Amino acid sequence: MANSDLTFTFPPAPRPSVAVDGSTARFPVNRIYCVGRNYTEHAREMGNDEREPPFFFTKPGDAVIDDGKNIPFPCSTNNLHHEAELVVAIGKDGVNIPVADASPYIWGYAAGNDLTRRDMQAMAKKMARPWDMAKGFDHSAPCGPLHPVKDIGHMKKGSIRLLVNGDLRQNGDIADMIWSPAEIIAHLSALVALAPGDLIYTGTPAGVGRLIMGDTVRVEIAGLGPVSTTFS
């Protein structure tokens, strides 16, 4: 049956999407994958060995929100953390992609924030339980406008910063990632088939910290538009 012939018991939710720099068209979001501990100093501040292979967790596609949003402070946490990240947008299907062939699968890049209920994550770790509710809650994936590769080329280095109410909290360089975007794509595509619309949050530098009600958090990556979020 063709999609146009389908009927539903109630109207389906709108497709999540993110803005595209310089365009009125939007990038449809499929799945959101996140890389854990991909900067040496952040791995150390979390008490882990920076030499381990990349590992992944997910967020729902509809956790994504645009720049400039004012959102409710997340429930069930007393320790919400910010994590500034480079976001990689996938533009075509692929599985078991070699590192050398990975770059053409990248459609574009954006600044993102992997919001984390750190207290809930700590409890999940202690009890050997999944991180889903610590990472994949409502509005947990702020994402700035995507910049197409055709316009800016591939991101290999550049400042990544995060400010809370104008005060600098995180300050690094995407060149310091343990695993490059191409290597991340190679690892991830050996686990799942990547598809157009997938977003990959590629890990955060050191300096993650607590957010409270009323804070405005802003992620800046050189060459990309920022993403700013305010909690109410």
Residue 213: inside a domain: yes
Is residue 72 in some structural domain? yes
Q: Is 6 part of any domain?
A: no
Mean pLDDT over 23-31 rounds to 98
Please give the residue range of the domain that contains residue 159.
15-231
* Strand, helix or coil for residue 182: helix
pLDDT of res. 98: 98
Handedness of CA 211, 216, 219, 222 (dihedral sign): negative
Is residue 10 one of the residues assigned to a domain?
Answer: no
Q: Give the count of domains, the chain.
A: 1
* Residue 9 domain flag: no
CA distance 112 to 85: 5
Structure pTM? 0.94
Q: Has residue 62 been placed in a domain?
A: yes
User: Percent of the chain scored above 70 by pLDDT?
Assistant: 94
Does a structural domain hold residue 225? yes
Backbone angles phi, psi at 143, to 5 degrees: -145, 125
Both tokens assigned to 201: 């949050």
**pLDDT tens, position by position, 145-177:** 999 999 999 999 999 999 999 999 999 999 999
Domain membership flag for residue 132: yes
Residue 51: which CATH number?
A: 3.90.850.10
